[in-house]
Chain A
Amino acid sequence: MHANILSILDIRMNKKGQIQIGETIAVLFVFFVLITIGFVFYVKVIKGNIEAEKEELSQLKSVGVAQRVMFLPEVQCSEDNIIIDNCIDISKLDAAQKLMKENEVYYYDLFEFSDISISQIYPSDAKWSIYSRKTNDFKSRFVTNVPISLYDSTIRKHGFGILTIETLAR
């Protein structure tokens, strides 16, 4: 009789212990599920930030390329070594076109994947493509148009044009 009561008590105690462990495991499971949900949410937010940063970096690169073109001694106007801002010397353009094609690897370091062209609007229409290196494998594309003065130093006359810089970012 006494032994029977002890064995029933033992089974109950065992069941109680198992329920306690089961509860703890359930709590732990819920805890880790919540942690995983939080982590997934955090990764998504971080991914979004990285994408935004990538976009910003591509835009920055595009502006950098535009700046480099504008201040390139190969095309810039100068009078007695004094640089004229926002001015491109037409008499240098043909030579610059040829030079950049011949030294594509050198200029790739400066302009990367981009297409740089100058369109004259006044006094007559003309177009020069000074650098072009494109890739099909690009994720973003930015086009920067800069109004510029076009100076023909051989006839000493100013014109007006647009410098178009298209940059491709992978």
Chain B
Amino acid sequence: MNKKAFEVQFNWIFVLVAGAAILLFFTVVVVKQKNVSETSTKASVLKSIEAIVTGASVSTDTTNIIDMPNSNIEISCGRISVGGISRQYNNLVLFAPSLVKGDRLITQTLAFNAPYRATNLLYMTSPQLRYIIIGNSNLAKDINKTLPAELRKEFYPSMQQIQNSNNYKVRFVIFGDMMAFPKSLERMPDSDVTAVRINGDTDKGVLEFWQKNGNSWLAKGSSAYIGKASLIGAIYTDSLNAYECNIQNTFLRLNLVTKIYSEKTKKLVQKLALSSRQAECSKFYNNALAHLTRISAASSNFNKENVDDIAETSKLLAGENKNAQVYSCTLIY
């Protein structure tokens, strides 16, 4: 009887062990499959972003809303990461906040002209991020118009009482004097509330980067912008480092494209000498060559002086191009 009882108990233990082995097997399979599926989702998000980056280089002045799996995209200088998967770029021009959250992406592209198109600037953000534009200048209105309507943006001609609407990040864009820190946002983490103060016009100007520090603003440094496209870039990025990294890459691109236009202009001068056609053109081309050399030198490094130099020389070069058009010469760009 004792032996029978032992046999029955052994049977139950055997069933238990076998059942546990089967359960363990399926648990391992499910966990592994879950990990594979998560990695696959992250990889597909990264693939979509790569496609967006490629698309951006071929389309100017476009805004796209892209649906994607809910994810956190981390963007830093030349690097895009989704979960543990990341893609490194040497010279990526992508103006975006450090973290893009949610299941929708807003992308925008604008051409960077100085005065010829050097590259397209790509901007990326989330509709969950809040942009507050404060200012009543024409530039403020123009920037508000240029930013996509799909963006979670608010425009106030003057300082207003700001309410907390539970956004994961808030970006202030201030034209004019710096405002006091809004009381309603004091509980947000310091890195999630940032501001950029703009002082300039559509051609060039100075940018001041600020970040929340308890219940006040902390200055994070200043930089410069050239043209509306780079100014919009300063609005999308939430740190001085990210902005300067992107603008450095833009300047590198400008430097390369300038070399091409210099060579092309030299060819135009040579062809004129051969044909002795339209002698006036030669004057414009030689002037243009001098301007291109200046832009090439100034675009080798990004700083305030070089920005001023390029902005000024671009206008002169645009003038030479106009003159070439008036005299029916081949255009420089």
Contacts and interface: CB of A to CB of B under 8 A. Distances in A.
A28 B330 contact: no
Contact of B330 (A35, A92, A94, A156): A156
B260 A92 contact: yes
Contacts of B7: 13, 17
A70 B26 CA distance: 51
B1 to A, nearest CB: 11
Interface in B222-259: 252, 256-257, 259
B57 A99 contact: no
A71 interface: yes
B158 interface: no
Contact of A83 (B3, B117, B256, B257): B117
B264 A70 contact: no
A35 B24 CA distance: 13
Interface string B1-42: 001100100110011001000100100010000000000000
Contact of B252 (A10, A99, A106): A106
A103 B256 contact: yes
Given A13-B3, A106-B252, A74 B257 contact: yes
A153 interface: yes
Interface string A1-37: 0000000001001000100110010001001000100
Interface string B260-275: 1011100110010000
A19 B114 CA distance: 88
Interface string B132-158: 000000000000000000000000000
A153 B90 contact: no
Given A106-B90, A154-B271, A57 B256 contact: no
A154 B268 contact: yes
A20 B3 CA distance: 16
B256 A106 contact: yes
Q: Chain A contact residues: over half helix, strand or loop, or mixed?
A: helix
A147 interface: no
Given A73-B116, A73-B117, A106-B90, A68 B54 contact: yes
Contacts of A20: 11
Interface in A85-117: 89, 91-92, 94-96, 98-99, 103, 105-106, 108-109
A81 B116 contact: yes
B330 A80 contact: no
A125 to B, nearest CB: 21
Nearest to A75: B260
Contacts of B102: none
B268 A78 contact: no
A135 interface: no
A146 interface: no
Given A80-B331, A109-B90, A74 B256 contact: yes
Contact of A95 (B47, B117, B263): B263
Contacts of B259: 95, 99
Contacts of A83: 60, 117
Given A67-B58, A68-B54, A73 B257 contact: yes
Interface of A: 10, 13, 17, 20-21, 24, 28, 31, 35, 39, 57, 60, 64, 67-68, 70-71, 73-74, 78-81, 83, 89, 91-92, 94-96, 98-99, 103, 105-106, 108-109, 153-156
Given A71-B58, A106-B90, 14 more contacts: A13-B7, A67-B54, A70-B58, A74-B256, A78-B116, A78-B333, A80-B331, A94-B263, A95-B263, A95-B264, A108-B90, A153-B268, A154-B268, A154-B330
